Amino acid sequence: MLAFGSTHDILYALTSLTAKEFKVRYRNMSLGILWSLANPIIMMSVLTFVFTFVIRNDKQYFPLFLLMGILPYNFFCLAWTTGTTSIADNAVLVKKIPFPRELIPFAGVLANALHYLIQLGLLLLAAGIVIGPSPLWIWLPVIFVLQILFVSGLSLCSAALNVYFRDTRYVVESAALVLFWLVPIFYSFAEIEQMAEGYSFLRTVLSYNPLAATILCIRKILLYGELFEWDTLVKLATASLASVTIGLTYFRRVQRDFADYL
Amino acid sequence: MAAIRLENLSKRYLIHHKRQLVAQRVWKRRQNVTEPFWALRDVSFAVKGGETVGIVGHNGAGKSTLLEIVAGTSSPTTGRVERSGKIAAMLEVGTGFHADLTGAENIHLNAALLGMSKTELQRKFDSIVEFSGIADFIDEPARTYSTGMLSRLGFAVAVHFEPEILILDEVLSVGDRAFLRQCAKEIDRLVNAGSLALVASHNLDVVAALCSRVIWLDHGRVKSDGPAGEILLGYADGGDLRNQRVLQPIKETVFGADE
C-alpha cells in the first residue's frame, strides 16, 4: 500500500470510507442500487433511438456499442465529480478527525467504481450472449484498474483545488459535459481518423485521451474480439500512473491548510 | 511515554469583511478586505503521560483551535507542536458518524478513521456496544440518536482504541451523570497507565472533577497554568461565569458516589 506516513490501517480505513459512500448513496430509496443501472440503460435507449431512426447508422450491435462508451464515460464523470467535491462534502471529517485525508477522494472514486463494476458485469453478460465470450476478456481488469488510477489522480488534484476555489466543481461538471462529445461514445475511432485527416493535431490529442483509450480497448476486446494495440495500453498506463503520482504530490503539498478553508 | 509539547505556537485566521469576485479583483483591481485574527498567540506548554489537563476560557478564547492543532487536523501559523503517542480526538459530538448509517456501521467507520485495525475492532466490537449502553438501538440509523447517545458511542469507540493522547472538546457535557462517571473511570484508567488527556469544557464541575491541572486561555494567550483548584477558582472569580459553583468535594457532587 502507499506510504501515507501514518500508523493507520490504511486498507481498513479506505474500505470503511468507501463502504460509507457506497451505502449512503441509495440507502433511503426503495429501488436502491437499481438506480445505478437505470441511468445507463435510459441513455442507451435514447441514443439508440436517435442514431437509428433519426440519424441513420449501420453499426453492428449498436446498443452494445453505445453501452461500451456510456459506461466508462459515466463512471469517469461520476467518479471525477464525486471525487472533486469529496473533501468539501466531508469537511467535518477533515476538520475534526486526524487521519490520512488522501483516502477521501480515493473512497469517492472507489464507491463509484463498485457501481461501475456491477454495470460492467451486466454488460459482459449481454456481450457474452449476443457476441460470445473471448479469452481476451482477462485484459478487462487491467483496463478497469488503470481507469480507476487515472480518475483518482485527477480527483486528488481537483478535490484539493476545490477547497480553495469552490468554482472547481463547476469547471469539472462543465468539462464532463464537453467530454461527452469529445469521446467516441456514439461514433467510432475509425470515423475520427477519417475526419481528422488533415487535422493531425486533433488526432494526437484524442489518441492521448485516456478515457477515449479506455473505450477503444473495451470495444476492441468485447465487440470485435481483437486485442488492442500495445501502444494504446502503454499510453493509458503512462497517463494513469502520471495522474495518480501528480495528484498525490499536489494533494499532500496543499492539504496542510484544508481545515482553515472548509 | 505519551507527551505533547507546544512551543510559541500561534494561529492566525483571516477575517473577510468584503469578498470580491475574482473578476472584480482582476478587472476593477478591488482587493479583498481582510483582517488578521490571532486565535492563538505564543502558546507554550508541555503535558506528559499521567496528566489530565483541563482547558478553560471564554467563548472564542482559542480552546477548540488549540485542540484541533494538538490533534493535527489544523496547522499552526507559527511555532511548533510535537506529539508522541497514538491520538484519539473527540472534537465535536457525533463527528465521524454518518446519519444514514446504523450505529454498528458507524462503529466500523469511526474505528477505522481513528486508526484501529479490522481485527482489533472485531475483537472489541461487543465490548464497545456494551460500554455505549445503546445495544438496543445499534441497528438503527444514527440520525435517530440523541446527542447523548452519539457522545456515548463516540467515547466508547475512542477509549477502546486505548489512546495515549485523548482529546475531548466539550463532548462529555452532553452525557448524563451515570455516563460521566463511566467516562471519568476510563479516563483515570488510561491516564494511570501512562496516557495523557486534554479536556476543554465550559462545565467547570466536569473539569474540576477530571483534571489535576488546568490551563486558562484568554484571547488566545495562556493566562495561567497550574493546579486545577487554584486556576478554576481564579477563572470563576475573574471570568464571566461568576455563578459557576467550584466547590469541594466536587467529584461526588458531579458524578455521585460510586455505588
Report the pLDDT value the prediction gives residue B94, as an integer from 0 to 100. Answer: 78
Contact in structure between A186 and A68 (CB atoms under 8 Å):
no
CB pair distance less than 8 Å for A93 and B95: yes
| A-B Cβ pairs (cutoff 8 Å, strict) | 84
pLDDT, tens digit, 9 for 90 and up, residues A8-35:
788 999 999 999 998 888 777 777 778 8
* Rounded alpha-carbon distances, angstroms, from residue B13 to A52, B67, B106: 60, 16, 33
Average pLDDT, chain A: 87
For the beta carbon of residue B206, count every other beta carbon within 10 angstroms. Answer: 23
The pLDDT confidence band at residue B251, using thresholds 50, 70 and 90, is low
Distances (CA, A) of B227 to B212, B233, B251: 6, 10, 16
| CA atoms of B247 and B253, how far apart (whole Å) | 9
CB contact under 8 A, B112 and A260: no
Sheet holding B87-90, edge to edge: B87-90, B165-169, B196-200, B52-56, B213-218, B221-227
**Residues of B in Cβ contact (< 8 Å) with A1:** none
pLDDT value at residue B33: 76
Lowest mean pLDDT among A136-140, A250-254, B12-16: B12-16
Nine-digit cell at B180? 460521566
Residue B253 pLDDT exceeds 60: no
Cross-chain residue pair A260–B74, CB shorter than 8 Å = yes
CA dist., res. A106 & res. A102, Å (int): 7
Q: Which residues make Cβ contacts (< 8 Å) with residue A143, sequence separation at least 6?
A: A214, A217, A218, A236
Nearest CB neighbour to B109, from listed A16, A27, A28: A16
Residue B259 confidence (pLDDT) above 60: no
Examine the predicted complex and report whether its ipTM is higher than 0.85: no
Across the interface, of B74, B86, B105, the residue whose CB is closest to A7 is B86
- pLDDT recorded at residue B248: 45
DSSP code for A60? T
Neighbours of A77 (CB within 10 A): 21
Q: How confident is the model at residue B250 (pLDDT cuts 50, 70, 90)?
A: low
Kindly determine whether residue A19 and residue B86, on different chains, have CB atoms separated by under 8 Å: no
pLDDT band of B242, cuts 50, 70, 90: very low
Whether B252 has a pLDDT exceeding 60, the answer reads no
Q: Please answer whether residues B102 and B138 qualify as being in contact, where contact means their C-beta atoms are separated by less than 8 angstroms.
A: yes
Report CB contact under 8 Å: A23, B100: yes
Average pLDDT of A196-221?
79
pLDDT in tens, B139-188: 999 999 998 889 899 999 999 999 999 999 888 877 788 888 888 999 99
- The CA distance from A32 to A34, in Å, is 5
Instruction: Report the sign of the C-alpha dihedral through residues A108, A110, A114, A117, in that order.
Output: positive
B101 touches chain A (CB under 8 A): yes
- CB contact under 8 Å between B73 and A94, yes or no, is yes
- Determine whether B75 is exposed, middle or buried from the number of CB atoms within 10 Å of its CB (0-12, 13-18, 19+): middle
- pLDDT surpasses 60 at A114: yes
CA B14 to chain centre: 24
Domain spans, chain A: 16-261
CB of B72 closer than 8 Å to CB of B115: no
pLDDT per residue as tens digits for the range A135-150: 999 999 999 999 999 9
Beta carbons within 8 Å of A230's beta carbon, 6+ residues apart: none
Mean pLDDT computed over B75-103:
89
pLDDT band, residue B249 (cuts 50/70/90): very low
Mean pLDDT for the stretch of residues B215-236: 88
Cell 507542536, located at residue: B81
Task: Tell if the CB–CB gap between B112 and A15 is shorter than 8 Å.
Answer: yes
Task: Say yes or no: B98 contacts chain A, CB-CB below 8 A.
Answer: yes
The yes-or-no verdict on residue B238 having pLDDT over 70 is no
Of B92, B118, B121, the CB nearest to A96: B92
pLDDT at B44 over 70: yes
Nearest CA in chain A to B12: A260
- Is the per-residue pLDDT at A94 higher than 70? yes
Contact A19 B115 (CB under 8 A): no
pLDDT at A6: 65
CB contact under 8 A, B116 and A7: no
Measured CA distances, B217 to B45, B65, B165, B173 (Å): 12, 11, 20, 19
Q: Name all contacts of A251-257 with Cβ < 8 Å and 24+ positions apart.
A: A251/A101, A251/A102, A251/A105, A251/A156, A251/A157, A251/A159, A251/A160, A252/A102, A254/A160, A254/A163, A254/A164, A255/A101, A255/A102, A255/A160, A256/B75, A257/B75
* Inter-residue contact B79 to B106 (CB < 8 Å): no
A248 compared with A42, residue with greater pLDDT: A248
pLDDT (mean) for A157-184: 90
Cell representation of residue A110 = 472507489
Residue B224, min C-alpha distance to chain A (Å): 27
Residue whose C-alpha is closest to residue B152's, from B170, B176, B123: B176
Q: Choosing among B19, B97, B98, which should be mutated to test the A contact, i.e. which has the most A CBs within 10 A?
A: B98
Position with higher pLDDT, B131 vs A56: B131
Task: Answer yes or no: do B113 and A95 touch at CB < 8 A.
Answer: no
The stretch A173-191 carries a mean pLDDT of: 84
CA separation for the pair A255, A103 (Å, rounded): 12
- Other C-beta atoms within 10 Å of B173: how many? 16
A39 burial (CB, 10 Å; 0-12 / 13-18 / 19+) is: middle
Mean pLDDT for all residues in chain B = 85
Per-residue pLDDT at A250: 95
If you write DSSP's letter for every residue of A126-153 in order, what string do you get? HHHHHT---GGGGGHHHHHHHHHHHHHH
B217 has pLDDT over 50: yes
Bigger pLDDT: B218 or B16? Answer: B218
Model pLDDT, residue A163: 93
Q: What is the mean pLDDT of residues A203-211?
A: 76
- For residue A257, the chain B residues in CB contact (below 8 A) are 75
Interface test with B, best of A4, A12, A161 (most B CBs within 10 A): A12
Interface contact A15-B13, CB threshold 8 A: no
Q: Does residue B40 contact residue B66 with C-beta atoms inside 8 Å? A: yes
Tell me what pLDDT residue A197 has: 65
Strands (E) in chain B, as ranges, are 3-18, 33-48, 52-56, 78-84, 87-90, 165-169, 196-200, 213-218, 221-227
- pLDDT tens readout for residues B90-100: 998 878 888 88
Residue A132 φ then ψ, to 5°? 105, 140
* DSSP SS3 for A108: helix
Q: What percent of chain B has pLDDT over 70?
A: 88
Total Cβ atoms within 10 A of residue B179? 21
Which residues does chain A have within 8 Å of residue B112's beta carbon, measured at their own beta carbons? 8-9, 12-13, 15-17
B122 touches chain A (CB under 8 A): no
pLDDT above 90 (res B204): no
Q: Determine the average pLDDT of the residues in B90-118.
A: 89
